[in-house]
Structure 1
Amino acid sequence: MTTPTGGERLRDRRSRRSGGMVPEAGKPWHLVLAALFLLALALPAVLLVAPGFRGPDAPAPSPTVPAWQQAPTALSVPQVLAPLQPSAPVPVPAAVAAQVEPVLSADGGGTFTGMVQDALTGQVLFDRGGSEGRVPASNLKLLTAVAALRTLGPDHRFATKVVQGPAPGQVVLVGGGDVLLGAGESRPGQVMGHAGLATLAAFTVQALRSAGTAGDIKVLLDDSLFTGPSLNPNWLSGDVEAGEIAPLYPLALNSARFDPAVPTGPRPQDAAMAAAEAFAAQLRTAGAGTGLTVAAGVDRSPGAAKAGAATLAGVDSATVAEQVDLMLQVSDNYLAETMGRMAAVATGRPGSNDGATATVTAEIAASGVTPDAVKLVDVCGLALGNQVTARQFTDVVRAMTTGADTRLRSALDGFPVGGLSGTLDTRYGDSTTSGGAGLVRAKTGTLNTVLALSGYVVDADGRLLVFSFIGNGLTPGAAGNKVALDRAATALAGCGCR
Structure 2
Amino acid sequence: MIAGGTLALVLFGGIAVAAGSAVGAPVAASAPSATPTPTPTPTPTQTARPAPGAVPAASIVRSCSVADLASDPRLGSFQAQVRNATTGAVLYDRGGNTASRAASVLKVLTSAAALEVLGPDYRATTTVVKGAEPGSVVLVGGGDITLSRTPSGDESAYAGAAHLDDLAAQVEAAWAADPANPPLTKLILDSSMFGGAEWQPSWDSKELWDGYMPPITALQVDGDRDNPYNNTSTRSEDPIGRAGEAFAAELGGVSIERGTAPAGAAQLGAVQSQPVSTLVQQTLIVSDNAIAEMLARLVAVESGAGNGFESIQAGVLQGLAAYGIDTTGIVIVDGSGLSDDNAVPPNYLTQLFTKINAREGNLGALFDGLPVAGQSGSLSYSDRFTGDSAVADGAVFAKTGWIDTGYTLSGVIHAADGTPLTFAIYALDDVDDSAKTAIDALTAGFYSCGDSLSNQ
TM over 0.5: yes
Instruction: Give the CA deviation at 1:380.
Output: 1.1
1:313 equivalent to 2:281? Answer no
CA distance in 2, matches of 1:107, 1:413: 33
CA distance in 1, matches of 2:245, 2:332: 35
Match of 1:134 in 2: 100
187, 204, 213: which one aligns with 2:171 = 204
SS of equivalent residue, structure 2 residue 150: coil
Tell me which moved more, 384-393 or 210-219: 210-219
CA distance in 2, matches of 1:399, 1:113: 21
Deviations 1:311-352 (A, max 9, x none): 111111111111111111111112111110001111112111
Amino acid of the residue matched to residue 413 of structure 1?
D
Deviations 1:38-95 (A, max 9, x none): xxxxxxxxxxxxxxxxxxxxxxxxxxxxxxxxxxxxxxxxxxxxxxxxxxx9995834
1:233 equivalent to 2:201? Answer yes
Instruction: Give the CA deviation at 1:452.
Output: 0.5
* Pair 1:156–1:272, CA change in 2 (3 A): same
1:495 equivalent to 2:449? Answer yes
CA distance in 2, matches of 1:171, 1:418: 48
Contact 1:180-1:192 within 8 A present in 2 as well: no
1:342 equivalent to 2:298? Answer yes
Amino acid of the residue matched to residue 330 of structure 2?
V
Contact 2:384-2:436 within 8 A present in 1 as well: no
CA distance in 1, matches of 2:256, 2:275: 29
410, 423, 430: which one aligns with 2:365 = 410
Matches within 5 A, 1:319-330: 319-330=275-286
Instruction: Give the CA deviation at 1:403.
Output: 6.0
1:249 equivalent to 2:217? Answer yes
* Pair 1:91–1:444, CA change in 2 (3 A): farther
Deviations 1:85-139 (A, max 9, x none): xxxx99958345x1x3321234357221111112233111111111112111111
Instruction: Give the CA deviation at 1:470.
Output: 0.7
Match of 1:224 in 2: 192
Deviations 1:263-292 (A, max 9, x none): 3352121112211211111122xxxxxxxx
CA distance in 2, matches of 1:311, 1:158: 16
Matches within 5 A, 1:120-159: 120-159=86-125
Instruction: Give the CA deviation at 1:231.
Output: 0.9
Deviations 1:416-466 (A, max 9, x none): 111222111124453311111122111011112301000102112322211
* Pair 1:308–1:385, CA change in 2 (3 A): same
Amino acid of the residue matched to residue 93 of structure 2?
D
CA distance in 2, matches of 1:464, 1:150: 24
Instruction: Give the CA deviation at 1:362.
Output: 2.7
CA distance in 2, matches of 1:255, 1:120: 39
* Pair 1:193–1:122, CA change in 2 (3 A): same
CA distance in 2, matches of 1:187, 1:146: 31
CA distance in 2, matches of 1:90, 1:432: 33
438, 444, 449: which one aligns with 1:484 = 438
Instruction: Give the CA deviation at 1:167.
Output: 1.4
Runs of 5+ consecutive residues of structure 1 not aligned to the other structure: 1-88, 285-293
Instruction: Give the CA deviation at 1:359.
Output: 1.1
CA distance in 1, matches of 2:298, 2:123: 11
Instruction: Give the CA deviation at 1:189.
Output: 8.4
SS of equivalent residue, structure 1 residue 94: coil
Match of 1:451 in 2: 407
CA distance in 2, matches of 1:496, 1:412: 20
* Pair 1:378–1:419, CA change in 2 (3 A): same
Match of 1:351 in 2: 307
* Pair 1:438–1:203, CA change in 2 (3 A): same
Contact 1:93-1:124 within 8 A present in 2 as well: no
Contact 2:134-2:182 within 8 A present in 1 as well: no
CA distance in 1, matches of 2:332, 2:153: 35
Contact 1:120-1:402 within 8 A present in 2 as well: no
Tell me which moved more, 225-234 or 459-468: 459-468
